[in-house]
Amino acid sequence: MSDFSNVKVVLVNTSHPGNIGASARAMKNMGLRNLTLVQPSEFPSGVAVGRAVSATDIIEAASVVDTLQAAVADCGLVIGASARSRRIPWPMLSPDQCASKVLAEASHNRVALVFGREDAGLNNEELQLCHFHVQIPTDEVYSSLNLGAAVMVICYELHKAGLRDIGTVNPEEDELWDQEKATGEQVEHFYEHLQRVLVAIDFHDPDNPRQLMQRMRRLFSRIRIDVMEMNILRGILTNIEYHIKDTGQDSDKRRADE
């Protein structure tokens, strides 16, 4: 049996506590146990406990945090549920592709499965914190799934993949990798550093961003950077800053910001 102790389900800004309970029940049915809630509207809640039925242990042990960034800071793989295609397409998985990826990664790294608000899903900023998006295929007439139902489908596919024990058939990229993947927190520091440098070399104007940082995030999240690569990229950025230090106003501004 697969061990999903490295996998957490993250629910962002859930409005209805019943959906938290239903998600906990679905998780326990499928062998998952770690639930993190980002700013739930109503929690703790008797309604959540009632709908959880025999999964109240998951509700009681749930972490509550303020931001999605905090929820995924310790995760090497973050997958967000997305109902619709975005202006900037993101690497998109079907639920069974998602399950294979999670299963391969969870043997050695923490993984987050992120679900957004009942009415509006995840916003663009939250979606860009994800390495991949997962989309549950639906009939085009009515694509809006109940939150608990979406959690059920994703967890069900994960459980199924665990039963199939796919790891022995097609080893995933990560199993053969020589370096640990960077955590969400390390990657966020990299994006901050990158943005600082792009401003300093006059490539990026935060007042007229033209989706530049989204495109950079989309690019680097496809790569799943490992720790050594992260160190190399940070080193490159530092050397660039060092070399442009004496070129005037921009760098003064930068120093003031630091």
* Residues facing 8 on adjacent strands: 34, 112
Q: How many residues bind its own copies (CB under 8 A)?
A: 73
Closest by alpha carbon to 101, among 178, 157, 163, 37? 157
CA atoms lying within 13 Å on the CB side of residue 5: 3
Residue 35: both structure tokens together: 């639930």
| Residue of the chain from 8, 101, 131, 159 that contacts its own copies (CB under 8 A) | 159
- Which one of residues 74, 107, 228, 253 is an interface residue with its own copies (CB under 8 A)? 228
CB of 54 to its own copies, least distance (A): 6
Q: How far is the CB of 254 from its own copies (least distance, A)?
A: 9
Asked whether position 253 contacts its own copies by CB under 8 A, the answer is no
Instruction: Verify binding: residue 107, its own copies, rule CB under 8 A.
Output: no
**In this complex, which beta carbon is closest to its own copies, that of residue 37 or of residue 55?**
55
Q: Which of 64, 123, 146, 192 binds its own copies (CB under 8 A)?
A: 146
Candidate list 29, 41, 69, 186; residue touching its own copies; CB under 8 A: 29
Q: Does 235 bind its own copies (CB under 8 A)?
A: yes
Q: State which of residues 74, 163, 206, 253 lies at the interface with its own copies (CB under 8 A).
A: 163
Contact between 153 and its own copies (CB under 8 A)?
A: yes
Identity of the residue, 20 or 200, whose beta carbon is nearer to its own copies in the bound complex: 200
Residue 161: CB partners within 8 Å, gap ≥ 6? 2, 96, 99, 100, 102, 103
The answer to the question of residue 138 lying near its own copies (CB under 8 A) is yes
Query: Scanning residues 165 to 224, which ones bind its own copies (CB under 8 A)?
Result: 169-171, 173, 176-178, 198, 200-203, 212, 215-216, 219-220, 222-224
User: Any contact of residue 39 with its own copies (CB under 8 A)?
Assistant: no
Residue of 74, 63, 13, 78 lying closest to 41 (CA atoms): 13
Q: Which residue has the tokens 């239903």?
A: 22
